[in-house]
Chains A and B, each alone.
Chain A
Amino acid sequence: MKNVWTAGLALLAAAFAFPAFAQDIELVDVAELSGGGATVGTNFKNGVDLAVEEINAAGGILGHKIVVTHADTQSNPGVARAQVQKALDSDPYVLLGPGYSGSVKVTAPLAAEAGVTQIMGGEAAELTRMGDKFLFRTSFGQQSTMPKVAKYMAEDMKAKNVAIVWVNNDFGRGGRDAIAKEFDKLGVKVAADISTEAGQADFAADVAKVKASNADAAFVYLNEEESARILKEFKRQGVTMPLMGETTLVGQKVIDLAGDAANGARAHVGLTTDAPVDSIRAFRDRFVKKYNYVPDHNGIKGYLAVTMIKAATEKMGKLDSKGVADALHGLTIKAADQPGILMDVTFDENGDIDREGFLVEVENGKQVIKQILPKLH
Chain B
Amino acid sequence: MSNLFDLVIAGLATGSIYALVAIGFTLLWQTSQTINFAQGEFVMLPAFLMLAVMRAGAPFWLAIIGGGLLSVAILGVAFKKLLVDPMLRHGVLPLAIATMALSVAMKESVKQFFSAEAQPFPSIAPSGSVSIFGSSVSLQSLGVFAFGVAAVIGLNLFLERTSTGRQMQAAAQNPTVARIVGVPVERMIMLTFVINAALVALASLLVTPIYLAKFSSGDTLGQAAFIAAIVGGFNQVRGAIVGGLAIGVLDNLAAAYVSTQYRAAVPLVLLIVIILFRPEGLIGRPEERTV
Contacts and interface: CB of A to CB of B under 8 A. Distances in A.
Nearest to B214: A225
Interface in A9-60: 33-35, 38-39, 42
A140 B68 CA distance: 46
Contacts of B120: 228, 256-259
A212 interface: yes
Contacts of A195: 259-261
A233 B127 CA distance: 11
Contacts of A211: 3, 6
A264 B117 CA distance: 24
Contacts of A110: none
A232 B289 CA distance: 49
B212 A236 contact: no
Interface stretch (B48-56, B79-87, B136-144, B150-158): B136-144
B174 interface: no
Interface stretch (B91-99, B191-199, B248-256, B276-284): B248-256
Contact of B117 (A39, A196, A205, A206): A39
A229 interface: yes
Nearest to A237: B138
A56 to B, nearest CB: 26
Interface in B133-173: 136, 138, 140-141
B14 interface: yes
Contact of A238 (B111, B118, B129, B210): B129
A229 B120 CA distance: 10
Interface string B249-291: 0011101100111010000000000000000000000000000
Interface in A183-216: 194-197, 199-202, 204-206, 208-209, 211-212
Given A34-B116, A235-B127, A257-B118, A204 B214 contact: no
B45 interface: no
Q: Number of contact residues on B: which range applies? A: 35 or more
Contacts of B6: 204, 208, 211, 237
Interface in A220-246: 225, 228-229, 232-233, 235-238
Contact of A228 (B140, B212, B263): B212
Q: Number of contact residues on A: which range applies? A: 35 or more
A237 B137 CA distance: 6
Main secondary structure of the interface of A (DSSP, over half): helix
Given A42-B115, A257-B118, A204 B10 contact: yes
B97 to A, nearest CB: 23
Nearest to B215: A34
Given A208-B7, A229-B211, A237-B138, A194 B260 contact: yes
A253 B111 CA distance: 17
B118 to A, nearest CB: 5
Given A208-B6, A238-B129, A202 B261 contact: no
Given A195-B260, A229-B210, A232-B210, A205 B252 contact: yes
B220 interface: yes
B115 A38 contact: yes
Contacts of A212: 2-3
A34 B118 CA distance: 10
Contacts of B256: 205, 208-209
A168 interface: yes
B11 interface: yes
B113 to A, nearest CB: 13
A201 B220 contact: yes
B119 A257 contact: yes
B117 A168 contact: no
B217 interface: yes
Interface in B1-44: 2-3, 6-7, 10-11, 13-14
A205 B251 CA distance: 9
Most buried by B among A39, A199, A202, A228: A202
B116 A204 contact: no
Nearest to B211: A201
Nearest to A200: B260
Contacts of A205: 7, 10, 251-253, 255-256, 260, 263
A298 to B, nearest CB: 12
Nearest to A212: B3
A168 B251 contact: no
Nearest to A39: B117
Contacts of B209: 232
Contacts of A209: 3, 256
A228 B209 CA distance: 11
Contacts of B13: 204
Contact of B260 (A199, A206, A257): A206
A271 B115 CA distance: 24
B260 A253 contact: no
Nearest to A34: B116
Contacts of B141: 204, 236
Contacts of A235: 127
A212 B4 CA distance: 10
Interface of B: 2-3, 6-7, 10-11, 13-14, 111, 115-120, 127-129, 136, 138, 140-141, 209-212, 214, 216-217, 220, 251-253, 255-256, 259-261, 263
Given A33-B116, A204-B6, A225-B118, 11 more contacts: A202-B220, A204-B13, A208-B3, A208-B6, A208-B10, A211-B3, A212-B3, A228-B118, A232-B210, A237-B136, A256-B120
7 contacts: A202-B220, A204-B7, A205-B260, A225-B117, A232-B210, A235-B127, A236-B141
